[in-house]
Structures are given as structure tokens and as C-alpha cells.
């Protein structure tokens, strides 16, 4: 691909967990946009409502985010089934049943120039919910995206790193970025694939640094030790925001750089 030299940066934020995560996003996004010169923000919001699910009220608190993706907890909050129908900046996994409300991808304007297409997909390996093949679904969606939309970002919400990596290589050169979510732990494999697609197995989360995937440590340990049903309270303090900054050529859509970031949220007292 020939590079034009005109580049833009976008910010992709990992799974937002609970009220603490929402507060961190609202507070940190403006300064992160300025620091990394990002003109577009995407966040996975599927855990933002009390740690499981999402709803309109919680999403509106994070007003610095342009598009929200989701995953296997999309329907944990009953009210969201109706709310998603009227929300133009939210996508649920595209490879779930077509009978489900909402949409699996969207194309919207980047204020700095050009359009951004955002696709939400869910993996099949080790996931409790059934989903159609993410590979076939992605190919079908790519035929529907306007040719004028050069920047295409895929959120692959999946458990297996192999499935995420396979999807990234499968889409290499056809999308700007394939970014993994769901496991809440930022991985060390961020890179640009040969065809110009940015990839990382998991972006991480916006949740408590001293926690297990955003949940209280003693309760999670108790579950593993006993095997008995247990509630996992969300830890709402000591929040760390994990994200990735992707620099791309706005003419070709080719990714030029991916930079994982991790920032502690320190609320003013």
C-alpha cells in the first residue's frame, strides 16, 4: 500500500468494569486524547453496569467515547434490550443471532476526517454463549462497508488468544486493527502485521489494579478453592485504565503504529 503521509490516531479502551471504571474513563479520556493526539475513541462497555452488562445510563456517563462495543454480557441488564434500539453509537457482537436487537457494526464520521467503521465480534472457543463463525461474519460485513471508509476497527471479544490471532492474520491488510477484549489482562504482543493491520491479543481493562479481573480478590480465591457459588463484588477504587493507541494512514486505512498504554486513575480528593 502506498502511504499518503496524512495520519490520525484513535484510542481503543479495554473492558470498562463498574462505576470506578466509568469514572476513570470520563476523567482520563480528555487528557489521553490530548496527550496522544487521538481524534476518535472506542471502548468496550460490556462490564460497565455493576461489573456485568451495560445500559444507557452508564454509557452516557462516559461522554468522551465515540463508539461502544460489547460482548457476552451484552444482555445481562434487561433494560438494555430496548435501550440499544435507540442508541446509534453502540454495537453488539455481529455474529450473534440476527433476531437480537441492535447492530453488529457501524460506520461513523471521525471529526478529524474520514469515516471509521467499528465491528464487534465474539469468539467461539471456550465461550459460554453460542455465536456464528466470526471469520465468515467479518467477511460478510467487509462487503457492506462503503469503499470510502478506510479505517476499520474490529473488537474480537474472545477467550482464546489463538482464535484472536487467527482472526487478525485472516483480516490482515483488509482492516486497520483487530483488538482483543474479554480477558481483562493487557498482553505483550502488540504489533503491526505484514499487511498493515494492528493487533493485540487483549487490550486489558479499566478496573482495579489490586483485583482479579476487576473483582474482589478474597471472593474469587474462595470460588477457586471451594468450587461453591460465590458473589464477586466489583472493586471500585485504585482504578487502572488499559488502552491502545493506533496510528493509521487516513487515505489507505493501513495501521502504522500500535502503542499499548496503562494509566492509573487518581481522583481529586
Which residues belong to the active site? Answer: 73
239 φ, ψ to 5°?
-85, 135
> Is residue 50 classed exposed, middle or buried when 0-12, 13-18 and 19+ CB atoms within 10 A define those classes?
middle
Tell me how far apart the alpha carbons of residues 237 and 239 are, in angstroms, rounded to a whole number. Answer: 5
Tell me how far apart the alpha carbons of residues 159 and 177 are, in angstroms, rounded to a whole number. Answer: 18
Tell me how far apart the alpha carbons of residues 86 and 80 are, in angstroms, rounded to a whole number. Answer: 10
In DSSP notation, 92-137 reads --TTS-TTSSS-SEEEEE-TTSSEEEEEEEE--TT-SS----HHHH
Tell me how far apart the alpha carbons of residues 49 and 246 are, in angstroms, rounded to a whole number. Answer: 27
What residues form DSSP beta bridges with 157? Answer: 122, 181
Do residues 163 and 174 touch, judged by C-beta distance below 8 A? no
Amino acid at each position: 500500500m502506498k502511504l499518503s503521509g496524512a495520519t490520525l490516531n484513535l484510542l481503543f479502551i479495554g473492558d470498562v468494569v463498574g462505576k470506578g471504571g466509568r469514572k476513570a474513563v470520563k476523567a482520563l479520556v480528555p487528557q489521553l486524547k490530548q496527550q496522544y493526539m487521538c481524534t476518535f475513541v472506542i471502548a468496550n462497555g460490556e462490564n460497565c453496569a455493576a461489573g456485568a452488562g451495560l445500559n444507557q445510563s452508564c454509557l452516557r456517563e462516559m461522554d468522551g467515547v465515540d463508539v461502544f462495543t460489547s460482548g457476552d454480557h451484552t444482555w445481562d441488564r434487561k433494560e438494555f434490550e430496548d435501550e440499544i434500539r435507540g442508541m446509534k453509537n453502540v454495537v453488539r457482537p455481529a455474529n450473534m443471532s440476527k433476531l437480537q436487537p441492535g447492530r453488529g457494526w457501524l460506520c461513523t464520521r471521525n471529526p478529524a476526517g474520514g469515516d471509521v467503521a467499528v465491528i464487534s465480534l465474539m469468539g467461539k472457543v471456550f465461550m459460554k454463549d453460542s455465536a456464528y463463525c466470526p471469520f465468515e461474519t467479518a467477511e460478510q460485513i467487509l462487503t457492506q462497508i462503503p469503499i470510502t471508509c478506510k479505517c476499520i476497527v474490529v473488537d474480537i471479544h474472545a477467550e482464546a488468544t489463538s482464535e484472536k490471532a487467527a482472526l487478525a492474520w485472516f483480516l490482515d491488510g483488509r482492516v486497520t486493527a483487530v483488538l482483543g477484549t474479554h480477558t481483562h489482562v493487557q498482553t505483550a504482543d502488540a504489533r503491526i502485521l505484514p499487511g498493515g493491520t494492528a493487533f493485540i491479543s487483549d487490550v486489558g481493562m479499566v478496573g482495579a489494579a489490586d483485583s482479579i479481573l476487576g473483582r474482589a480478590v478474597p471472593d474469587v480465591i474462595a470460588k477457586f478453592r471451594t468450587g461453591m457459588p460465590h458473589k464477586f463484588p466489583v472493586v471500585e477504587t485504585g482504578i487502572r485504565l488499559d488502552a491502545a493507541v493506533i496510528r493509521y494512514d487516513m487515505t489507505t486505512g493501513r495501521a502504522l503504529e500500535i502503542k499499548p498504554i496503562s494509566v492509573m486513575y487518581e481522583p481529586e480528593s
